[in-house]
């Protein structure tokens, strides 16, 4: 496995137009971040890397190595850092919160360890909200698109159920449908399988793999699960705020 | 429907009991405000109407003072060395009438701000009917002119004011006074003056202003009869009553007349000073109590919104991750509190209207001082509009702070757990 991963990273280094050719979808340039509470702490030290279109990348490392912090920097929700983040060659660093919110809505989908579905809404409505926010489609079109995503995840039978009434695996699938509904450029996962049993972990992994392979969407997932990581296209390993392997 | 409003709606409907309780706070506040203002305003308007119909807008009269602090001796003998002392000063017998009243009346009638002028001769009398003797005031008037000044025509309980003109020695009597004397229309009553003269009159009508201080003591007879009773000439009048085209200007015009004619001139607000103070106090009380009620409702909403937002931190974080801006989050929660405000205020208006109608139908306890059959309540659209606006503004302000806080929630801190 180790060898194979090295091979992939060597490949990407040697020929950018290898398996994941073309321009980088995501580019991070010398990211630095400090925590000031409870005491000053250098979380990310000069982190730079690129992710190509359609790549399924996992970020691994011990607790406190800065992998989640890095993910939330890339997600545009955390803007308190130095360095530059590009998505599709657009510089996101320095944009206003409102511009970033709009950008997230259109280009970034999130899957978290916990599903974070809105409990008062049905599964379908949870998936619909981001696409309604996009404001490009009529309500019925939004509903069709959301339903299509649920169907793709084999959740169409639960569309009208309240999200709080679904099982853990079902909820995570609805959450994935929600992340996919605007066909985002990048899907970011923070321990997407961290709260699931092995069966559901497998299902979710297969779904993610399928997305990156067949739909060409880029996936970046932070994980503790080494088995999960080893099956991704590339592993970025972090230690003490630095990338030690990619 | 905008997705922000849809989320707000779902939140409100998901917890109907909490929404209802928040709403009831506003409902009760606005309802009580409407009841208070309708009732208080109704009572004030009733009182003001009664006062205006029983007193002239301006009354000119001769205010007699007996001032012994200054002596005419001081102008003759130097007071720097000696002091002039007058033992047992006694005022000259002064007639309290208005001199050259005819000219003043002519002058007043030519003033374009004046609608009507009525000369009055007032005197203290004893009403005697058999063994009963009651003292009171007698007003000698030209009844048709006097009727223009006050609401006498509409306040007649029995008889007509014109009876004074047709029946010799007729008298119009306060209703309560007639009851005390046990006389009715057609009965004879004897009037005696402090000077010892007396005269017999026939009751030709009774009136009820609804003000005890008038109905218990006052009578009207023809001016010439009173002049005859007190033994004075036909120019002798003590008061001149004036009705203005705009009674709100009474204060300024009264001052001007006092200056011009050299007599005291009181506007209706001065004449009824104590009543005007009670009107003011009621207005202030209404405002204070209503404001308190709405402020309490506002704090209730503030509490509920703060709690809701505290419980929804995760939802706020995920909405932000999905691309909702701080402004969107603010809009969602502000929409919720304003919706509570609008619904609460509207039901409050209904409640207020229902309660006001209820109070309006209640009989007013019978008494000698005010004659009304039921509680005076007014139904003014402006009170309802104000209540609605006040309710919405209060809930907007109450929801504003929690909503701004919701907008500032940092999604990273919550999503990282």
B314 in contact with A, Cβ within 8 Å: yes
Residue extents of the structural domains in chain A? 53-78+94-245
Three-state DSSP state, B281: helix
Q: How many CA atoms lie less than 13 Å away from B326 in the CB half-sphere? A: 14
- Superfamily of A53-78+94-245 according to CATH: P-loop containing nucleotide triphosphate hydrolases (3.40.50.300)
Return the residue of B nearest to A119 by Cα. B315
Spatial contact of A153 and A207, defined as CB atoms under 8 Å apart: yes
Enter the tokens of residue B5.
């409003």
pLDDT in tens, A160-215: 999 989 988 899 889 999 999 999 999 999 988 888 888 888 988 998 999 888 88
Enter the tokens of residue A65.
């190595």
Chain B residue numbers with beta carbons less than 8 Å from the beta carbon of A178 are: 322
Quote ipTM for the complex: 0.87
Enter the tokens of residue A41.
């702490």
Does the structure show a pLDDT above 60 at A128? Answer: yes
CB contact under 8 Å between B322 and A116, yes or no, is: no
Chain A residue numbers with beta carbons less than 8 Å from the beta carbon of B11 are: 120
What are the Cα distances from residue B126, in Å, to B190, B196, B275, B337?
8, 10, 28, 69
What is the interface size between A and B, counted as CB pairs within 8 Å? 74
CB contact under 8 Å between B411 and A106, yes or no, is: no
Q: How many CB atoms lie within 10 A of CB B262?
A: 13
pLDDT in tens, A23-71: 789 999 999 999 988 889 999 999 999 999 889 999 999 888 888 899 9
B243 in contact with A, Cβ within 8 Å: no
CB contact under 8 Å between B327 and A98, yes or no, is: yes
- Strands (E) in B52-187, as ranges, are 58-61, 114-129, 132-141, 156-159, 170-174
Q: What is the 3-state secondary structure (H, E, C) of A119-174?
A: CCCEHHHHHHHHHHHHCCCCHHHHHHHHHHHHHHCCCHHHCCCEHHHCCHHHHHHH
Q: How many CB atoms lie within 10 A of CB B55?
A: 22
Chain B residue numbers with beta carbons less than 8 Å from the beta carbon of A190 are: 415-416
Q: Which residues contact B129 (CB under 8 A, 6 or more apart)?
A: B181, B182, B183, B187, B188, B189, B190
Q: What residues are paired with B183 via a beta bridge?
A: none
Query: What kind and span of H or E run contains B11?
Result: helix B3-14
Chain B stretch 321-350, residues whose beta carbon is closer than 8 A to a beta carbon of chain A = 321-328
> Which of B11, B14, B320 lies closest to A77 in CB terms?
B320
A191 in contact with B, Cβ within 8 Å: no
Q: Residues in chain B, how many?
A: 417
Residue-level pLDDT, tens digit, chain B, 417 residues: 688 999 999 989 988 998 898 899 889 888 988 998 898 889 888 888 887 778 888 999 988 776 767 777 787 887 787 888 888 877 777 778 888 888 899 999 998 899 999 999 999 999 988 888 898 999 999 998 888 888 888 888 888 888 888 988 899 999 889 998 988 898 999 999 888 888 999 999 999 887 778 888 999 999 999 998 888 888 899 999 999 888 888 889 999 998 988 888 999 888 888 888 888 898 898 889 888 887 887 888 888 889 889 989 999 999 999 989 999 999 999 999 999 999 999 999 999 999 999 999 888 887 666 667 788 889 999 999 988 998 899 889 989 999 999 999 999 888 886
Three-state DSSP state, B397: helix
Chain A residue numbers with beta carbons less than 8 Å from the beta carbon of B7 are: 118, 129
What is residue B26's DSSP assignment? H
Enter the tokens of residue B272.
């009824």
Return the residue of A nearest to B312 by Cα. A118
A183 in contact with B, Cβ within 8 Å: no
Question: Burial level of B30, CB count in 10 A (0-12/13-18/19+)?
Answer: buried
CB contact under 8 Å between B3 and A129, yes or no, is: yes
Q: What's this model's pTM, rounded to 2 decimal places?
A: 0.75
Spatial contact of B233 and B99, defined as CB atoms under 8 Å apart: no
Q: Give the DSSP per-residue string, B304-342.
A: HHHHHHHHTHHHHHHHHHHT--HHHHHHHHHHHHHHHHH
φ, ψ for residue A82 (rounded to 5)?
-115, 155
d(CA B258, CA A59): 96
Spatial contact of B58 and B266, defined as CB atoms under 8 Å apart: yes
CA dihedral sign, ordered B386, B392, B394, B400: negative
Q: How many CA atoms lie less than 13 Å away from B213 in the CB half-sphere? A: 7
d(CA A45, CA A73): 13
Return the residue of B nearest to A134 by Cα. B323
For residue A14, whether the previous peptide bond is cis, meaning omega lies within 30 degrees of 0, is no
Q: A110, A118, A119, A222: best mutation site toward chain B, by most B Cβ within 10 Å? A: A118
The pLDDT value recorded for residue B128 is 87
Q: Quick one: chain A helix, strand, coil %, rounded to 5?
A: 40, 25, 35
What are the Cα distances from residue B251, in Å, to B58, B168, B276?
8, 38, 13
CB contact under 8 Å between B417 and A178, yes or no, is: no
> Which of A114, A119, A133 lies closest to B322 in CB terms?
A133
Chain A residue numbers with beta carbons less than 8 Å from the beta carbon of B317 are: 116
The pairing of strands B114-129 and B264-267 is unpaired
Return the residue of B nearest to A133 by Cα. B3
φ, ψ for residue B170 (rounded to 5)?
-80, 155
> Which of B1, B321, B417 lies closest to A104 in CB terms?
B321
Spatial contact of A229 and A58, defined as CB atoms under 8 Å apart: yes
Closest residue by Cα to residue B33 from B407, B390, B298, B403? B390
B311 in contact with A, Cβ within 8 Å: no
A75 in contact with B, Cβ within 8 Å: yes
Residue extents of the structural domains in chain B? 3-52+275-415, 57-67+94-267
Closest residue by Cα to residue B32 from B314, B365, B340, B295? B295
> Which of B1, B325, B412 lies closest to A72 in CB terms?
B412
A133 in contact with B, Cβ within 8 Å: yes
What is residue B112's DSSP assignment? T
Closest residue by Cα to residue A19 from A207, A212, A186, A188? A212
């Amino acid at each position: 496995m180790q060898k194979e991963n090295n091979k992939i990273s060597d490949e990407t280094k040697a020929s950018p137009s290898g398996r994941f050719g073309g321009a980088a979808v995501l580019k991070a340039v010398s990211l630095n971040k400090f925590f000031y509470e409870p005491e000053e702490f250098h979380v990310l030290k000069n982190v730079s890397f690129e992710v190509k279109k359609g790549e399924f990348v996992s970020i691994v490392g011990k607790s406190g190595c800065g992998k989640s912090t890095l993910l939330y920097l890339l997600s545009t929700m955390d803007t308190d850092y130095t360095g530059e983040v590009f998505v599709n060659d657009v510089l996101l660093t320095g944009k206003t919160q409102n511009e970033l919110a709009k950008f997230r809505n259109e280009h970034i989908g999130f899957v978290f360890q916990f599903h974070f579905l809105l409990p008062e809404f049905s599964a379908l409505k949870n998936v619909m909200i981001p696409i309604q926010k996009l404001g490009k489609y009529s309500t019925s079109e939004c509903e069709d698109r959301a339903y299509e995503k649920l169907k793709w995840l084999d959740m169409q039978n639960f569309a009208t159920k309240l999200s709080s009434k679904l099982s853990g695996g079902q909820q995570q699938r609805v959450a994935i449908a929600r992340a996919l509904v605007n066909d985002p450029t990048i899907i970011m996962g923070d321990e997407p399988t961290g709260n699931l049993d092995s069966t559901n972990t497998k299902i979710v992994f297969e779904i993610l793999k399928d997305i990156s392979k067949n739909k060409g969407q880029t996936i970046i997932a932070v994980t503790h699960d080494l088995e999960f990581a080893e099956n991704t296209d590339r592993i970025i390993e972090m230690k003490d705020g630095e990338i030690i392997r990619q | 429907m905008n997705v922000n409003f849809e989320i707000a709606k779902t939140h409100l409907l998901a917890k109907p009991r909490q929404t209802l309780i928040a709403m009831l706070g506003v409902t009760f506040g606005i309802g009580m405000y409407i009841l208070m203002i309708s009732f208080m305003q109704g009572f004030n308007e009733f009182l003001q109407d009664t006062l205006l119909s029983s007193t002239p807008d301006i009354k000119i009269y001769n205010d007699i003072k007996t001032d012994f602090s200054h002596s005419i001796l001081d102008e003759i003998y130097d007071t720097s060395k000696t002091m002039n002392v007058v033992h047992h000063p006694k005022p000259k017998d002064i007639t309290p009438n208005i001199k050259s009243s005819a000219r003043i009346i002519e002058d007043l009638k030519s003033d374009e701000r004046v609608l009507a002028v009525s000369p009055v001769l007032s005197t203290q009398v004893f009403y005697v009917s058999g063994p009963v003797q009651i003292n009171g005031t007698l007003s000698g008037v030209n009844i048709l002119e006097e009727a223009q000044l006050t609401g006498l025509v509409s306040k007649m309980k029995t008889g007509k004011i014109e009876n004074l003109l047709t029946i010799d020695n007729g008298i119009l009597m306060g209703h309560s006074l007639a009851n005390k004397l046990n006389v009715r229309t057609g009965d004879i009553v004897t009037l005696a003056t402090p000077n010892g003269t007396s005269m017999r009159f026939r009751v030709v009508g009774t009136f009820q202003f609804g003000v005890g201080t008038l109905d218990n003591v006052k009578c009207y007879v023809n001016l010439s009869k009173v002049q005859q009773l007190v033994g004075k000439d036909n120019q002798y009048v003590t008061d001149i009553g004036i009705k203005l085209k705009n009674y709100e200007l009474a204060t300024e015009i009264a001052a001007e007349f006092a200056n011009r004619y050299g007599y005291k001139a009181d506007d209706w607000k001065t004449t009824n000073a104590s009543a005007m103070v009670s009107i003011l106090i009621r207005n202030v009380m209404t405002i204070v109590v209503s404001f308190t009620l709405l402020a309490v409702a506002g704090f209730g909403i503030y509490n509920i919104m703060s709690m809701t937002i505290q419980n929804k931190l995760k939802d706020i974080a995920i909405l932000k991750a999905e691309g909702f801006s701080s402004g969107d989050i603010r809009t969602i929660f502000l929409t919720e509190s304003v919706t509570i405000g609008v619904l609460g205020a509207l039901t409050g208006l209904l409640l207020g209207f229902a309660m006001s109608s209820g109070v309006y139908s209640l009989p007013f306890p019978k008494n000698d001082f005010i004659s009304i059959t039921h509680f005076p309540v007014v139904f003014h659209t402006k009170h309802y509009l104000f209540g609605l606006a006040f309710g919405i503004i209060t809930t907007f302000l109450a929801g504003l702070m929690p909503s701004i806080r919701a907008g500032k929630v940092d999604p990273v801190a919550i999503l990282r757990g």
